């Protein structure tokens, strides 16, 4: 079993950016507007306690433009993907967005906005960047039998610094996960499709298509249905290959995230719903998607709005009703028998007369 503890380490670094994003959102009303015409730069330093990661190819992708009031609009390259950037508020969601976009990038061989190789100090610099949201990913770094993992992550340019000022030249120190050593044994990979569509379950498709990639090369498309409880598995030798999956859902009803923990790929389909039934809370106006040119509904809502009740003021008190019904049934049957007896006797009397 491959160690995926790199995810935990990745969380540390992405946490910083999530906080920055949160501040970016909060800046809508309290911080100075972003100069969207200004050029940005990004310096990334890849090193661990033991080593600097030299010669590692780093790719960055311009995922979304940013407005002066911190709203994101997916760029032409990414607007077709079922991701709702403006509805993301938590670290977990940013992690999911990064891994999902990476899967689509691999599947569609999307060209990076820029790419470069780390120097002997593990440093790579990107300049002349437009403001906006970027995805940073690495290509596999393998030394002898050991694989070092850096999870993809999102970063906003500009970002807020410690003084709550926009900084257009951003330094970042991604942390590596624990190195993995391939076992060269057969292991099982699993895909599970989850649904976030409470109240709209009838909108689910009969099936979804999931394409599996090994080191960026498609190895098959699987049809996943409810019959298999929306799951499927495959086995492969653990040889250090990087496996990714993407899901294809027909129509535009769902936003999708793909995350991987261990050997399990979890795909969550978020029903976009209707504007009325899943209207975002107006108090959080900076989460809305009004500036998003891909014109999708946000599909995000508060669970308390859609939870279904059976108009039950006293849930689980059905025992009382049940007892009453038993009483009613017994009385009715006994009365029925008496009535039938009386009726038959009455008819006999009439016949006799």
Among 56-64, 115-123, 169-177, 197-205, the segment contacting other proteins (CB under 8 A): 197-205
Site for other proteins in 134-193 (CB under 8 A): 190, 192
Q: How many CB atoms lie within 10 A of CB 348?
A: 10
Question: Does residue 131 belong to the site contacting other proteins (CB under 8 A)?
Answer: no
Among the listed ranges 34-42, 108-116, 141-149, 321-329, the one in contact with other proteins (CB under 8 A) is: 321-329
Verify binding: residue 120, other proteins, rule CB under 8 A: no
Nearer to other proteins, 46 or 230 (CB): 230
Residues in a beta bridge with 40: 129
Distance of closest approach, residue 110 Cβ to other proteins, in angstroms: 26
Can you tell me the distance from the alpha carbon of 195 to that of 270, in angstroms, rounded to the nearest whole number?
Answer: 6
Q: Is 52 left (phi over 0), alpha (psi -120 to 50) or beta?
A: beta
Three-state SS string across 11-76, please? HHHHHHHHHHHHHHHHHHHHCCCCCCCCCEEEEEECECCCCECCCCEEEEEEEEEECCCCCEEECC
Phi, psi of 69 (to 5 degrees): -105, 30
Contact pattern from residue 270 through residue 309 relative to other proteins, giving x for each residue in contact according to CB under 8 A and a dash for the rest: x---------xx--x--x-----------xxxxxx-xxxx
Q: If you ran DSSP here, which 8-state letter would residue 267 be given?
A: E
| Residue whose CB is less far from other proteins, 219 or 329 | 329
Residue 195 interacts with other proteins (CB under 8 A): yes or no = yes
229-248 residues in contact with other proteins (CB under 8 A) are: 229-231
Task: Verify binding: residue 318, other proteins, rule CB under 8 A.
Answer: yes
Regarding 311 and contact with other proteins (CB under 8 A), the answer is no
Cβ closest to other proteins, residue 217 vs residue 307: 307
Judge whether 240 and 231 are in contact, CB under 8 Å.
no
Looking at the Cβ atoms of 123 and 192, the one nearer to other proteins is: 192
């Amino acid at each position: 079993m491959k160690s995926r503890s790199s995810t935990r380490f990745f969380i540390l670094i992405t946490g910083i950016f999530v906080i920055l994003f949160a501040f970016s959102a909060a800046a809508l009303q309290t911080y100075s507007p972003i100069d969207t015409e200004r050029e940005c730069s990004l310096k990334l330093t890849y090193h661990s306690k033991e080593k600097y990661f030299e010669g590692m190819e780093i790719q960055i992708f311009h995922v979304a433009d940013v407005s002066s009031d911190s709203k994101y609009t997916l760029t032409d390259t990414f607007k077709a993907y079922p991701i709702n950037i403006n509805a993301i508020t938590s670290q977990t969601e940013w992690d999911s967005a990064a891994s999902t976009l990476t899967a689509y990038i691999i599947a569609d061989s999307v060209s990076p906005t820029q790419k470069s190789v780390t120097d002997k100090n593990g440093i790579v610099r990107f300049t002349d960047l437009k403001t906006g949201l970027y995805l940073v990913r690495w290509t596999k770094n393998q030394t002898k039998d050991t694989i070092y993992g850096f999870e993809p992550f999102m970063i906003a340019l500009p970002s807020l610094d410690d003084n709550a000022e926009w900084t257009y030249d951003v330094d970042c120190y991604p942390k590596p996960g624990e190195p993995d050593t391939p076992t060269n044994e057969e292991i099982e990979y699993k895909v599970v499709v989850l649904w976030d569509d409470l109240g709209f379950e009838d909108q689910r498709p009969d099936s979804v298509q999931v394409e599996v990639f090994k080191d960026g090369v498609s190895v098959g498309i699987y049809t996943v249905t409810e019959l298999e409880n929306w799951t499927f598995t495959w086995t492969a030798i653990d040889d250090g290959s990087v496996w990714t999956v993407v899901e294809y859902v027909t129509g535009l009803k769902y936003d999708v995230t793909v995350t991987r923990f261990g050997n399990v790929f979890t795909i969550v389909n978020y029903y976009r719903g209707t504007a009325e039934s899943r209207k975002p809370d107006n108090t959080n106006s900076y989460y809305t998607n009004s500036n998003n040119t891909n014109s999708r509904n946000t599909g995000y809502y508060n669970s308390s709005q859609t939870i279904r009740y059976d108009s039950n003021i006293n849930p689980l008190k059905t025992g009382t009703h049940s007892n009453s019904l038993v009483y009613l049934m017994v009385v009715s049957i006994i009365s029925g028998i008496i009535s039938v007896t009386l009726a038959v006797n009455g008819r006999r009397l009439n016949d006799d007369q």
